[in-house]
Structure formats: structure tokens, C-alpha cells
Amino acid sequence: MNWDDPTDTAAASAERLVGPAADREDQAVEAALRPKDLGEFIGQEKVREQLDLVLRAARARGATADHVLLSGAPGLGKTTLSMIIAAEMGAPIRITSGPAIQHAGDLAAILSSLQEGEVLFLDEIHRMSRPAEEMLYMAMEDFRVDVIVGKGPGATAIPLELPPFTLVGATTRAGLLPPPLRDRFGFTAHMEFYEPHELERVVHRSANLLDVGIEPDGAAEIAGRSRGTPRIANRLLRRVRDYAQVKADGLITREIAAAALAVYEVDARGLDRLDRAVLEALLKLFGGGPVGLSTLAVAVGEERETVEEVAEPFLVREGLLARTPRGRVGTPAAWAHLGLTPPHAAPGGPAGNGQQGLFGT
């Protein structure tokens, strides 16, 4: 369970499902729902087992744990696991992010203030600046950094020794990490999307912590619309709780959950307003494609990056949209999901609109 703070466009997928970003009260609730140790953490069985071995071995040796790299989509538990690592090692944790470190001096200031054994959580590590990244190589491997004093020919490198620490890096785009950085992590793990039965456990646990009455079929309804992501499951649970308190007797049943999520425009497969807008534009305006990403973004009134990083990954994973060399194409499942009839096949392309290639790439 697993609620990393969103730091990039992709993370906005969770936010848009329930409206504006959570206020301070919601953030406090999310913090309260975070599991405190590996025993409480639901899902990610392989990752938990492997990480448990790493941490137990480090404690047995009385040593600092190896550096850890966690990759995966937003909301799967990377921040939560970093906090658990610190708790399991009995160490403090410092949290920052790649975009916040734009100069080597920024990183040097953080590293030089670390305590021995402290855990440094660096979210969206792939977005760190190149100079800071190069400084991090030496810090991870030799626990030292060279601080440059002065400029030009008179510049001097002053070595600064660092106490042993554990770096926990998190990224939503592991492919953007340079090999020299990736190779310096002693343990790497990829976080997978959750299965519905795992999300049901997440919802039941959170409902218990929130003192919310929920029936098994109500938890199943929320889990099935949560896009395989615990963060989304918990946010939907809170919105359904609100609906149940206002419109019903406070107990969440399947019917109440379905009615509440209809208000928030989350359909039975977890698609929200933007997802459906993308599919409807692709199918209704462009006959199923292929259509270029920029053209599709203009059609739905969104930025290209928003469509590509927020809507597309889920639609592709659900088998509703396909990326091809000529553009985006709606699948038969997309036509069926929207209740539309695809045009008859014709020489113009897979969707049969006779206009393949007219909509950009």
C-alpha cells in the first residue's frame, strides 16, 4: 500500500481521478494509512521477500544497508517502502527529489549533512541534473565527494568524507537512468501493478483504519476501478466514504460504491473523463486511427505530454489503445467498451476510414 507523493505528469493520473490535489487533511490521512513495516505491506511479494533478506543481513552484520533502486508506476509504494527501509534499519530518513537537485552544490549540501546510517530517499532520480548525478557516483561507491572551490584554472577540489548511508532511489522511468548510476545500486526492484484481490485487501485495511463500514462486494467494486494502484484505491475509498455518509447510512456496498464512482466519472474499468475523451476522439473523430499524438491531444484539449504520460499507459495496458509507427489506433476492445460499432474494413487502414496517414504521427 503505497502512496508515493506525485512528482511528475504521470503521477497526475491518480490526482485527476478524484479532482484537485488532496488537501492537508487528506495528506494526513494518507500518511496514517501507510504501512509501517514489511509485515503490514500488502502485495509486491517478491520485492518484499528480497528486500527483507537485504535488510536482515545488513542488521546482522551491523552494517548500513546497500543502496536500493525502486522503479515502477506512480502510486505503487516506492515512498512507503523507503520509509519502511528506514524503520527496519532503525535509521532516520531524509526525503528529496531529482527535480529539486539541479546543481552539484545542492546534492553536496544534502550529503554532507547526513548522519551515519541515515536513509536518503531520492524520488524521480532520473530527473536529477547531470553534474549532481556524476557527484552521486562517488558518494554511493566511496562515501566521499569532491567539492570544487573557485573557478577556472584556480579551482581546487576538496575531498569531503561522508558517513556510510543508504540511498533509496525511486523512478517511474528506469530506462532513463544511465548504466553507471544503475549499476551502483546493490538491490534493484521493479514494482508491479496490483491484482484486484490485493487491492481488496488494501481497501479493507484502509477502511478499518478510517473506521468505515464496508462490505466485501463494496471493496471489490472499488478495487476493480483502481487501475491496479493502491494510491488510487485509497483515494477512491475516501470519496466513496463521503458519498456513503451523505447519501446513505455510511455503509459501503457495491451499489453505493458504483453510484459514488459514477459521480466522480470513474467507470467500471477505471477509466476517467480524460481516458474516455481520448478514446472517443480516436474512435469518433478519426475512425479508430491511426492518428498522431499531437493531433489527438489537440482534439481533447490537453497537452501532448498529458495524453502520452497520463492517459496512454493505462489505455495501452487495458488493451484499448495501440501505439503503431503511423500513430495511435483504437482496438476492437475500445469500440466495444464505448458501445460503438467500428466502420467496415477498407483499404485506408485498420479502422477502414480511408484516411490513414492524414492525421500526423
Q: Is 166 a catalytic residue?
A: no
Q: Which of 7, 64, 166, 172 is catalytic?
A: 172
Which amino acids are annotated as binding site for DNA, given as ranges?
Answer: 304, 323, 328
Phi and psi at residue 82, to the nearest 5°: -65, -40
The verdict on whether 361 is a catalytic residue reads no
Among 123, 225, 227, 238, which one carries the catalytic annotation? 123
Task: Clarify whether 79 is annotated catalytic.
Answer: yes
4, 8, 78, 201: the active-site residue:
78
Pairing of strands 144-149, 156-161: antiparallel
Residue stretches of the annotated binding site for ATP? 33-34, 75, 78-80, 141-143, 184, 194, 231
| 8 part of the active site | no
Gap between the Cα atoms of 84 and 40, Å rounded: 10
Q: What interhelical angle do 216-224 and 196-209 show, nearest 10?
A: 120
Catalytic residue among 201, 231, 235, 238: 231
269 assigned to active site: no
| DSSP assignment of 70-82 | EE-STTSSHHHHH
The amino acid sitting at 234 is N
Where is the binding site, in residues? 33-34, 75, 78-80, 141-143, 184, 194, 231, 304, 323, 328
Query: Which residues are annotated binding-site positions for Mg(2+)?
Result: 79
DSSP string, 329-342: EE-HHHHHHTT-PP
Of the listed 4, 8, 48, 79, which one is catalytic? 79
DSSP 150-218: SSGGG-EEEEEE----EEEEEES-GGGS-HHHHTT-SEEEEPPPPPHHHHHHHHHHHHHHTT--B-HHH
Task: Read off the C-alpha cell for 182.
Answer: 544503475
Residues marked as catalytic? 78-79, 123, 172, 231
